Amino acid sequence: MKVSVSKEDHLKAIFHLQQEHGTVTTNALAASLGTRAASVTDMLKKLKEQKLVNYERYKGFKLNNEGKKAAVQIIRKHRLWEYFLVKKLQFGWDEVHEIAEELEHISSRKLIDRLDAFLGHPDTDPHGDPIPDSQGRLQVRRQVSLAELPLNKPAQVSGIASQTSEMLELLQYNHIRLGTRLEIRKKFPFDHSLEVKVRNRPPVTLSAQVAKNVLVTDDEPPTEKR
């Protein structure tokens, strides 16, 4: 069966893509959503109609202010639910994405604000991504990928860029998770793989592909309260 991809899914995906590339292309969005270019074009017309996106045919597109606000509200819902699942229902941080993907479509605004209060207004979700507050303010944090981290510079894992369950499993296996303090002991130019040292553990080797997707800060760990 052809699975329907909602307006909300489009907004969220555009938001993430435009963070990386400034402007978004039809094909990129289609790939990200697992749909076809033609379907994306159809949706773009609707989003333009609703004044959520700046779009001229054949030129790319990006969210306008209204669109960004809407996208951030969805991200807020997603991350609050992930936090709930991990902190209250004892899920592992690597099992919550799909469930939150469903929960984020629940529409009640009051529900989300109540949930936020119940959780104590958390700052960051279980993957280390910041949770927008009820005004839609998204705290920006300076993150670099592990691949860019200098040798021997202590850092802390603050986010995972690509949250496939395969990736999360690999990290889990290597005892790398949010908040883990580590540093790079050696870089192998041949394949850009890294030897990484975590305190109290033997060193592990990570591929360049993994390193690109592990985000770190030299900053403080994510706090529970705002």
Partner DNA sequence: TTTTAATTTTAGATTTGTCTAAAATTAATT
Partner DNA sequence: AATTAATTTTAGACAAATCTAAAATTAAAA
- Separation between Cα atoms, residue 178 and residue 159, nearest integer Å: 7
Find which of DNA, a copy of itself, none residue 43 binds, CB within 5 to 8 Å per kind: DNA
| In the complex, minimum distance from the CB of residue 13 to DNA, in angstroms, rounded to a whole number | 12
- Pick from 226, 150, 133: nearest CA to 185: 150
Q: 30 vs 103, which CB is nearer to a copy of itself?
A: 103
Q: 4 vs 65, which CB is nearer to a copy of itself?
A: 4
Q: 4 vs 135, which CB is nearer to DNA?
A: 4
| In the complex, minimum distance from the CB of residue 97 to a copy of itself, in angstroms, rounded to a whole number | 12
Neighbours of 15 (CB within 10 A): 20
Find which of a copy of itself, DNA, none residue 2 binds, CB within 5 to 8 Å per kind: DNA
Find which of a copy of itself, DNA, none residue 115 binds, CB within 5 to 8 Å per kind: a copy of itself
State how far the alpha carbon of 95 is from the alpha carbons of 22, 76, 169, 185, in Å: 30, 18, 10, 31
| In the complex, minimum distance from the CB of residue 95 to DNA, in angstroms, rounded to a whole number | 26
Rule CB under 8 A: which residues touch a copy of itself?
85, 88-91, 98-99, 102-103, 105-108, 110-111, 114-115, 118
State how far the alpha carbon of 174 is from the alpha carbons of 38, 91, 202, 209, 210, in Å: 42, 19, 10, 15, 12
Q: 17 vs 215, which CB is nearer to DNA?
A: 17
| In the complex, minimum distance from the CB of residue 74 to DNA, in angstroms, rounded to a whole number | 16
Q: 107 vs 223, which CB is nearer to a copy of itself?
A: 107
Is-contact 69 14, C-beta < 8 A? no
| In the complex, minimum distance from the CB of residue 117 to a copy of itself, in angstroms, rounded to a whole number | 8
Rule CB under 7 A: which residues touch DNA?
1-6, 25-28, 35-45, 55, 57-60
